[in-house]
Amino acid sequence: MDIHEKANKGSQRFRYIKLCLFLSGLSVFAQLYLFQPLLPIIADHFKTSVGNSSLLVSSSTIGMAIGLFFFAFKADSYSRKKLMTFSLLSSSLLTIISAYIPSMVILIIFGILKGFIVSGVSAVALAYITEEVDRSIIPLAISMYLSGNIIGGMSGRILSTILAGEFGWENSVLIIGIESLLLGILFWIFFPDSFFFQPKKIDYSLKVKQMKSFLQDSYMLRLYCSAALLMGTFISIYNYLTFRLESAPFHLNHFLIAFIFLMYILGVFGTMITSKLSKSIEQKVILKGAVVTIIIGSLFFFSENIYMVTFGLGIFTLSFFAAHTMASQMTALHAKEGKSSATSIYWLFYYLGSSILGSSTGYILHSTSWNFFILFIILITLITFLLSYKETN
């Protein structure tokens, strides 16, 4: 008989779980998107186009997608803690090495490898939460993990922008790599081992059957497609807004642009609001409402007033993370068996959307205009609304 109980809200174990999941999010997303605000500097440094420079971001997310497909089959054969610790420490070493690479092609290859390795965290984090945490506080644990993702993404963007402006992009990458290594070490020390999961031999035929069942489940498939489309639009805005703000009519310098990305902190409130609302409002209704407000936020990007653009970015960011939190929570709770496979597929779609739309919209922007680019973003979000609307009716 198992004497262990699932972590409850007042326990020290739950406090360590929340802290370490938060730290893992900080590390992963600071590394994953540190090049995003540097794309104008990178494009100028390597004498390449807007779309080509975005490959430095897309390479990591492509690596994530490949890794998540791999871990959809293999994650359950590894200790949750050992896999996440290895991913955090190894990826940070690759980020440190990246600071000394003079070739964009090799940087892209490193990005793919880093994304593959760091996917070990995303592949099992949600599964760990649903296995180890009392069901009543699963939304709180998921929101804490996603808050770490948000703040990691924000801090990576802001730090890399400021540091690159002062010390060059190479030193910016180096400092974030060292910071991520320290976070990985803290995770290794404090993250609790699993009580309710043991690594097991993989039955690949069962895994294929589980994945096939998820992909044939219309409920799950809509969530997966929504994740891909929403993440694709989100990453597109954050990839190319820097180019917009550096040019007419704004002409902002790198320091001011860095603080525009403080809007990212509103994503934390998006996850918190979603966690609170999910106690009294149907999950699917929250998802649909969040997608509508993403569209509303996108409309402000047509403006040539910096305050309107910033306000729109805040609405857009808060709403995206509310939708993402809701969709990932719905995925994790809907899967009764094969939770790591279900959540890995979610993240696979999520990062495929980031990679494919994140780069392709750059070529659209390069060949058309900012307003056409925003129209395309709104069109993609409308498709997502139709998916969520169908699911709620």
Domain membership of residue 344 as a residue range:
12-191+217-391
CA distance 237 to 261: 11
Please report whether residue 348 resides in a domain: yes
Please report whether residue 207 resides in a domain: no
Where are the strands (E) in the chain, listed by range?
none
Residues in the chain with pLDDT values less than 50: 1, 392-393
Residue 193: per-residue pLDDT: 94
Please report whether residue 200 resides in a domain: no
CA distance 142 to 275: 9
**347 three-state secondary structure:** helix
CATH assignment of the domain containing 313: 1.20.1250.20
Q: How many CB atoms lie within 10 A of CB 366?
A: 16
* Contact call for residues 149 and 264 (beta carbons, < 8 A): no
What does the chain come to in residues? 393
CA distance 346 to 332: 9
CA distance 281 to 275: 10
| Sequence-separated (6 or more) residues with CB below 8 Å from residue 138 | 129, 130, 329, 332, 333
Please report whether residue 294 resides in a domain: yes
Number of domains in the chain: 1
pTM, full prediction: 0.80
- Please report, as a single letter, which amino acid is at residue 378: I
CA distance 237 to 67: 25
Please report whether residue 3 resides in a domain: no
Residue 342: per-residue pLDDT: 85
Please report whether residue 119 resides in a domain: yes
